[in-house]
C-alpha cells in the first residue's frame, strides 16, 4: 500500500490564498466550495490535524489572542482521546475571520453554524471524501507543487509536520503537532520524505 506524500508548503499555501481571493463566480454553491477548500488547506497545514478532526473544528475552538502571542486552536483529538493546543498563523486567522463574515452575509440567519466546515447547501459538515477529491484534483493539476504520486486529505497533515520539522530541526516539535506518543512513531511518519532529503543531498558539492 502506497503512502500519501506531503505537498510543497509554500506553493500549497499560495494556492489556498489565491483560490480564496480569486473566487468571483455568481453561483453561491461554487463560491462556498472553493472558499471552504481554501480554508481547509490553510488550517490543515497549520494544524497538521487528521482530516476527521479538522472537519469538526468549531469557531469557538479558536483563541484569537493566545498566551504565546499567536492565535491558538484548542481541540480534542479523537484517536488519542486527548485535548491539544495548536498555534495557527495570523494570515490563516485573518482569512478565517473574513470567511466567517462572508458566510453570515451570504446566508443570513442560516449562516451561523458553530462548525467552520459546514456546507449550508446540504445542511451537513463537509466530508472526508469531498476534501480528498478536491486535493487530488489540485495535485493532479500541479497546483500544490510538483505532482506527487499519492495525494489526499492526509497530505495536509504530512505537509504541516514536515514544514515544522524543516524549520525547527527538532523532531519533538513535529511529535507534539502530530500528537504521537513517542519519537520513533514520528520518525517513521516523517521518513516518507527520505527520498526528498537524499535528492537534496545529492545536489551538494561533495569533495
What are the residue boundaries of the structural domains of the chain, listed by start?
A: 9-202
* Pair 183, 191: CB distance under 8 Å: no
pLDDT value at residue 206: 56
pLDDT tens sequence for the chain (207 residues): 567 788 999 999 999 999 998 876 667 778 889 999 999 999 999 999 999 999 999 999 999 987 788 899 999 999 889 999 999 999 999 999 999 999 988 887 777 799 999 998 899 999 999 999 999 999 999 999 989 888 888 899 999 999 998 888 888 888 888 888 888 888 887 864 566 666 766 776 554
pLDDT value at residue 149: 86
Whole-prediction pTM: 0.87
Angle at 65 between CA 61 and CA 67, to 5 degrees: 95
9-202 folds as: hpI Integrase; Chain A (1.10.443)
CA pair distance 87, 45, nearest whole angstrom: 11
Helix ranges (DSSP H) in the chain = 9-22, 28-47, 51-54, 90-107, 128-140, 154-168, 171-178, 183-190, 194-202
pLDDT value at residue 192: 47
Amino acid at each position: 500500500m502506497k503512502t500519501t506524500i506531503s505537498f510543497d508548503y509554500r506553493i500549497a499555501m499560495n494556492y489556498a490564498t489565491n483560490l480564496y481571493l480569486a473566487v468571483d463566480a455568481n453561483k453561491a454553491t461554487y463560491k462556498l466550495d472553493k472558499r471552504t477548500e481554501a480554508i481547509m488547506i490553510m488550517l490543515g497545514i497549520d494544524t497538521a490535524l487528521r482530516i476527521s478532526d479538522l472537519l469538526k473544528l468549531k469557531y469557538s475552538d479558536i483563541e484569537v489572542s493566545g498566551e504565546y502571542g499567536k492565535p491558538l486552536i484548542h481541540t480534542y483529538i479523537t484517536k488519542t482521546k486527548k485535548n491539544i493546543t495548536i498555534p495557527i498563523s495570523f494570515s490563516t486567522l485573518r482569512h478565517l475571520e473574513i470567511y466567517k463574515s462572508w458566510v453570515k452575509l451570504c446566508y443570513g440567519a442560516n449562516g451561523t453554524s458553530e462548525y467552520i466546515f459546514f456546507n449550508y447547501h446540504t445542511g451537513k459538515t463537509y466530508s472526508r471524501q469531498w476534501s480528498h477529491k478536491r486535493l487530488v484534483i489540485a495535485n493532479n493539476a500541479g497546483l500544490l507543487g510538483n505532482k506527487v504520486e499519492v495525494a489526499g486529505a492526509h497530505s495536509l497533515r504530512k505537509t504541516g509536520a514536515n514544514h515544522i520539522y524543516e524549520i525547527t530541526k527538532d523532531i519533538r516539535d513535529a511529535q507534539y503537532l502530530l500528537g504521537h506518543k513517542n519519537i520513533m512513531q514520528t520518525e517513521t511518519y516523517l521518513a516518507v520524505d527520505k527520498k526528498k532529503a537524499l535528492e537534496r543531498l545529492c545536489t551538494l558539492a561533495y569533495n
